[in-house]
Structure 1
Amino acid sequence: MSATLDRLIATRIRQDVQSTHAYAIQDSRGMVKLDAMENPHRLPPALQKELGERLAAVALNRYPGDRIDELRAALAKHAQLPEGFGLMLGNGSDELITMLAMACDVPGATILAPLPGFVMYAMSAQQQGLKFVGVDLTPEFELDEQAMLDAIALHQPAIVYLAYPNNPTANLWNDATIEKIVAAAPGLVVIDEAYQPFASRSYLDRVTKHEHVLLMRTLSKFGLAGVRIGYMMGPAQLIAQVDKVRPPYNVSVLNCEAALFALEHEDVFAAQAAQIKSERERVQAALREMGLQAWRSDANMILVRVPDAARSFEGMKARKVLVKNVSKMHPLLAGCLRLTIGTPEENTQMLSALQSTL
């Protein structure tokens, strides 16, 4: 790197940006890919052909138009959008999280979330120049009610994020505790239901009781991780304010059409989710038989503690199975791996690879 380029970076790129790391994505070539909570199932061949024909007919020479409104309406129907609520779209949930940080960037604003949790809550705050406060979960990965309430009282956060279920711990939290946090929050509370297709319950039936709560979901876990469609629901007046910072045409015509097609065939994806939930129970039972501690999951992943996380991770990788080593992400995750639930064949291969490292 030249001295000129060094000087340019040192003087024109924010210091806090220089000191952080970009979001890391593991190289998965040639691997059984079970590290990113993706739906392992592809569309059946007949639907692949039909979707290809639909996408081929899309007017790529035009900016996204009315079709985006049709997608918003289809998602509102799919999610059973409450009366008086609005719905906005993001290029994945990540963009929605970024837009929330932009919209709430008032002087002295703080974003608060439990830890360990989804890394983008902290990253979005830091990238926007906001303060981020993380509150540790209990050793069993439950919300520490008093610590959360104390942190809210002290920091008066503009946004409190509650992932429901949480990533990477995969659990749903105590509903009574959540309601106390919602009642105490002076700003927005964002309930992130990214893993809703696999969860045993949703916050949707309670969201209308609070004017400051937003509900965020994504089609990534539905089965469209490559399509990048996130959506957020809340009181129409509040959604309209956040929507002002949304970039124009943030959802492409191809992504829009693929999402509409998927929603027309949601029964196919519901069947896939049902198989994933069934496989999740099988994998959890197998982990218990190995004598490992595996936490209850309401997502398409399982958090498991092994004797030596680095050894198991590398041993599984050598056997062409890629999972996520989260053992150094937070002290509470010491010794833990995060296993995405794949197809039955992939799960069998994953369990065999893990067993060989113990």
Structure 2
Amino acid sequence: MTSLDDLPLRDDLRGKSPYGAPQAPVPVALNVNENTHGIPEDVAHDIVASVATAILSLNRYPDREFTQLRTALADYLGHGLSAENIWAANGSNEVLQQILQAFAGSGRSLMGFVPTYSMYSLLAMGTGTRWIAAERDEDFELSPETAAAAVSREQPDVVFLCSPNNPTGTPLSLETITAVYDAAPGIVVVDEAYAEFAPVGTPSALTLLPGRERLIVSRTMSKAFAFAGARVGYLAADPAIADALRLVRLPYHLSALTQAAALGALRHSHEMLAVVGEIRVQKDRIVAHLSELGYKPYRSGSNFVLFGGVADTRALFQSLFERGILIRDIGIPGHMRVSAGTEAETSAFLDALAALTSKV
């Protein structure tokens, strides 16, 4: 059988592993930060109707500029944005990939502050971009001084700031974003995939867009909108950014079905986001119980919690898995990450963890 070693693969891809979180049919899956509450039935019916209408014209290519979707996303975000400020793709990962295709690549660099979303370095590798892993402060925080110093020293062509950060959940201040932008010579991307889960009143990097033509704020419908399977990501930025991405996107990259489904969901944004408050409640439960059990939960503005104090991450992962519960070993020694699920799912995790901890 042919293996990768037998193929004329790019040298910089040899020995690499693809991105992938464990997938298993367990009753309680809390490992990939999904919104486990699902889509309300009445909303689902409206989305199905939208998709059904789109099917009738699948003999034609979709709107290449996805104008209705961009308008709807601008209306959802507010902040005085219009369709010209919006770009979308098949998940925020594709949005980030297109940004690197346009502004990075061979001879250029991408900086991130580790530990952070593991796809950043993989996207750099896939686009032939040099990856620069800058360090964070204690407890995975990132101060304006630390961030700006790293950017000033390395002068990267693109900077990715995850806000709140994945896998740590760490919120990112507007002061840090501003300091990075002022120090950076090129594009600065603030990845707000989990922004809707932040405490009420938390300011978004969207407020920083006016007058900053090199700043991009990316979002996704995968998390708060419970739309992970639909693959819809988007960004807000100066209209010139969308013009740059048109140079690298594939023709008709957003299918008519994807556009119809996203529009259907956005028509019901209030219903789709109604469970966000409940998810915050479950996250707070996790933080409180982890502390009671002797673990160290970190500050989180997302729908998941990173916690330290795990003596053996592999053993805990396996013990929970045997009980039908899946959480994430994210490769930081002594630390694991768990998503906030429904009340029942969260209780199942906390009860199992308490039982296992009492045996240690």
Shifted more, 90-99 versus 247-256: the winner is: 247-256
Which residue of structure 2 aligns with residue 207 of structure 1? 209
1:308 aligns with 2:309: no
Alignment pair present for 1:317 and 2:321: yes
Identical columns (%): 31
Partner of 1:178, secondary structure, is helix
- CA offsets, 1:260-307, max 9 Å, x none? 111111111221111111211122112122121111211010011123
Runs of 4+ in 1 over 4 A off after TM superposition: 5-8, 144-147
What does 1:187-198 correspond to in 2, within 5 Å? 187-198=186-197
Report the secondary structure of 1:271's partner residue: coil
Map of 2:274 onto structure 1: 271
Residue aligning to 2:11: 15
Per the alignment, residue 294 of structure 1 pairs with 297
SS in 2 for 1:114: strand
SS of equivalent residue, structure 2 residue 168: coil
Shift of 1:232: 1.0
Give 1:303's aligned amino acid. Answer: L
Task: Report if aligned partners of 2:209, 2:238 keep a CA contact under 8 Å in 1.
Answer: no
Give the superposed CA RMSD: 2.0
Provide TM-score, normalisation by structure 2. Answer: 0.91
Q: What stretches of structure 1 of length at least 5 have no aligned partner?
A: none
Q: Which residue of structure 2 aligns with residue 52 of structure 1?
A: 48
CA spacing shift, 1:253–1:83, aligned 2, 3 Å: closer
Query: Which deviates further from its counterpart, 95-104 or 80-89?
Result: 80-89
Task: Kindly indicate whether the alpha-carbon contact (under 8 Å) linking 2:286 and 2:346 is maintained by their aligned counterparts in 1.
Answer: yes
Change (3 A) 1:235 1:6: closer
Match of 1:89 in 2: 88
Number of the residue aligned with 1:230: 233
Distance in 2 (CA, whole Å) between partners of 1:7 and 1:54 is: 46
* C-alpha distance 123-293 of structure 1, shift in aligned 2 (>3 A): same
User: In 2 relative to 1, CA 49–82 (structure 1 residues): closer, same or farther, beyond 3 Å?
Assistant: closer
Instruction: Output the amino acid matched with 2:299.
Output: R
Judging changes above 3 Å, is the alpha-carbon distance between structure 1 residues 83 and 345 closer, same or farther for their aligned structure 2 residues? closer
Matched with 1:356 is 355
Verify: 1:261 aligned to 2:257, yes or no.
no
Write the distance in 1 (CA, Å) between the matches of 2:277 and 2:237.
Answer: 28
Could you say what secondary structure the match of 2:138 adopts? Answer: coil
Query: Which residues of 2 match residues 7-86 of structure 1 at below 5 A?
Result: 8-9=6-7, 12-58=8-54, 59-65=57-63, 68-80=66-78, 82-83=80-81, 86=85
Distance in 1, matches of 2:326 and 2:5, equals: 39
Q: 1:316 to 1:179 in 2, by over 3 A?
A: same
Aligned residue for 1:161?
160
Q: Could you tell me how far apart the structure 2 residues matched to 1:46 and 1:204 are?
A: 31
> What does the per-residue CA deviation read over 1:164-212, in whole Å, with 9 as the maximum and x for residues that have no partner?
1000011112432332111100001001100011013211112224221
2:163–2:172 CA contact under 8 A, matched in 1: yes
Distance in 2 separating the partners of 1:66 and 1:125:
26
Letter of the aligned partner of 1:314 in structure 2?
Q
Deviation at 1:41, TM superposition (A): 1.5
Once structures 1 and 2 are overlaid, which stretch shifts more, 227-236 or 40-49?
A: 40-49
Instruction: Tell me how far 1:67 sits from its aligned partner.
Output: 8.7
- The more displaced of 299-308 and 150-159 is 150-159
